[in-house]
A and B are shown apart, each in its own frame.
Chain A
Amino acid sequence: MYGLEAINANNGWATSVVGITIVFSGLVVLSLVISQLYKALDLYENPQKIRDWFSRAKRSDKFLETEVPLFVLTEEQKEIIKQFALLVRTLEDHFSLPRLFELAQISGVKNFHSNLNILLKSAIIFPDKEGFFCWDQDMYIKTISNRNSLKKMEDNRK
């Protein structure tokens, strides 16, 4: 028997389809597993991330529940914070606070001590736990647009 007749008689089409499907699904599953492997290992090596993740979820729940503003920024403070935002853009993503302090001083930002303190308290600037600080753009926008109170954001960061 030859040709299509032989293929049909020996169930060739079905064998081929089953075979390639098994090979393909095996390698697809394996590639999916190994694509997630490094993420799982990262969580295993840094269990803090899991705790952070859960606590952040809890905090965001609280954030939605409480909507009472306790701190109100004046228009002048908002302007100063905008000036800080411009200064931060000239720095790396992870910057040193003394450097920002120095830039604010050179640029003549008013009351930079106390306003920097507001930025820290409002968590617009937050420590990266490696000795440097980062800028939280979302928090900055929320603060400037006055949709949320500083106090509430402070609680949220804690």
Chain B
Amino acid sequence: MEALFLQFFHNTGFYLCDYRNIIMILVGIIFVYLGIAKDYEPLLLVPIGFGMLIGNIPIFTGLGLGIYEPNSVLHYLYFGVTQGIYPPLIFLGIGAMTDFSTLLSRPVLMLLGAAAQAGVFITFLGALALGFAPHEAASIGIIGGADGPTAIFLTAKLAPQLIGPIAVAAYSYMALVPVIQPPIMRLLTTRKERLIRMEEPREVSKREKIIFPIVAFLLCCFLAPAALPLLGMLCFGNLLKEAVVTERLAVTARTTIIDTATILLGVTVGASTQGDVFLTSSSVGIFVLGAGSFCVATATGVLFAKFMNLFLKSKINPLLGAAGVSAVPDSARVVQVVGQQEDPTNFLLMHAMAPNVSGVIGSAIAAGVLWSLMASKVM
């Protein structure tokens, strides 16, 4: 009986516990706290945080419980991450939620979304310089796109062993957009620039809104076919929304489908951060590069807006450049908040949504480009 009791004790988490599990459980609790108490991206941080708790319960291998054990339930759920299934489903929902009106009314703002993608490629260089392999560097660079699903999608294709740290870094920094971006925005702009008011956007017809996702999809995917899963679903979701006759499908995409995919993605990504796999020196490098990537993306967006102002008759508020990182809609909200700190009657949110959604398209194209350039190095 004593032997049985001992055998049971040896199988408990208390016996198998490792300091790395404790650290990750604490990180998970912090994520849940930030999500619930501080309202930082709760829809992402709460599932990821709880997933960290799930993934760091010490278990002995062979019971078929761990996420990395074949045939375990978590392993099957994780399949959607490793095979890049959940990110396109999330993009479908994002498409069904997004209104491209402001972008259509002032297409020049799309360039800010493109400029912010410079962060992706500068971080790619930084990761190479730190000794990461090219395909890993590409996966790390995409954190600068500030788009969790895109980062997970590309990492699943190029460096699946890094999904945990990259996903956690991407979502953590997305949640910290209100903390990371404002100092950079203030540093790179003058008060006069922050006070610039934007022109009232023109009214966009329904027909334009319907045609846009088709045109955008065809153009972007002909240019970067590897972006097909993400952009295809984004544009399809938007078409469902704008077509009106498919409203029922659009509602399902922007509620049930995106919520289900977000829950499964969040929990499994969180569970993939098992202490022994996650707490490595490369994870630290990824976090440092991820933070740098966000800062560079914000800075390039703001600086490019200032550069555009040299040529534009109707000046744009350079704060909008910060919304070029595709953390929708947080970075647009940050632009609104920073703008209103200077002038409470200046409403920039609507205008900031244009570079924000073009950042989504830009980061998907960047992911497609990196995938196609690196695919040969993975195979």
Contact = CB atoms under 8 A, between A and B. Distances in A.
A37 B124 contact: no
B121 interface: yes
Given A18-B373, A38-B205, A23 B129 contact: no
Interface in B54-107: 103-104, 107
27 contacts: A13-B125, A16-B124, A19-B366, A20-B118, A20-B121, A22-B223, A23-B365, A23-B369, A26-B114, A26-B219, A26-B365, A27-B110, A27-B358, A27-B362, A28-B111, A29-B219, A30-B110, A30-B215, A30-B361, A31-B107, A34-B104, A34-B110, A34-B208, A37-B212, A38-B202, A41-B211, A45-B207
A38 B205 CA distance: 8
B113 A27 contact: yes
A62 to B, nearest CB: 36
Interface string A1-35: 11110110011110110111011111111111111
Given A29-B223, A41-B211, A10 B128 contact: yes
Contacts of A28: 110-111, 114
Nearest to B129: A3
Interface of B is mostly: helix
Contacts of A24: 111, 114-115, 117
Interface string B286-306: 000000000000000000000
Contacts of A3: 129
Nearest to B370: A19
A145 B108 CA distance: 43
A33 B215 CA distance: 8
Interface of A: 1-4, 6-7, 10-13, 15-16, 18-20, 22-35, 37-38, 41, 45
Contacts of A37: 104, 208, 211-212, 215
Contact of B125 (A12, A18, A33): A12
A22 to B, nearest CB: 5
B131 A6 contact: yes
A4 B129 CA distance: 6
A27 B114 contact: yes
Contact of A41 (B129, B205, B219, B370): B205
A2 B131 contact: yes
Residue among A16, A28, A41 with most chain B CB within 10 A: A16
5 closest A-B pairs by CB: A31-B107, A16-B121, A27-B114, A31-B110, A35-B107
Contacts of A7: 125, 128-129
Interface in B242-297: none
A12 B121 CA distance: 9
B128 A12 contact: yes
A12 B120 CA distance: 12
A14 to B, nearest CB: 10
Given A15-B124, A29-B223, A41-B207, A22 B369 contact: yes
B139 to A, nearest CB: 13
Residue among A11, A12, A28, A32 with most chain B CB within 10 A: A12
Contact of B212 (A6, A10, A26, A34): A34
Contacts of B129: 2-4, 6-7
Given A22-B365, A41-B207, 10 more contacts: A3-B129, A10-B128, A10-B137, A12-B125, A15-B124, A16-B125, A22-B223, A25-B223, A27-B113, A34-B215
B216 interface: yes
Contacts of B134: 10-12, 15
A11 to B, nearest CB: 8
A66 B147 CA distance: 65
B292 to A, nearest CB: 15
A23 B122 CA distance: 14
B378 interface: no
Contacts of B358: 27, 31
A49 to B, nearest CB: 16
B223 A31 contact: no
B224 interface: yes
Residue among B128, B131, B223 with most chain A CB within 10 A: B128
Contacts of A13: 125
Nearest to A26: B223
Contacts of B114: 23-24, 26-28
Interface in B22-44: none
B130 interface: yes
A4 B131 CA distance: 10
B20 to A, nearest CB: 26
Given A2-B129, A18-B373, A33-B215, A23 B208 contact: no
A25 B115 CA distance: 11
Nearest to B100: A34
A37 B202 CA distance: 13
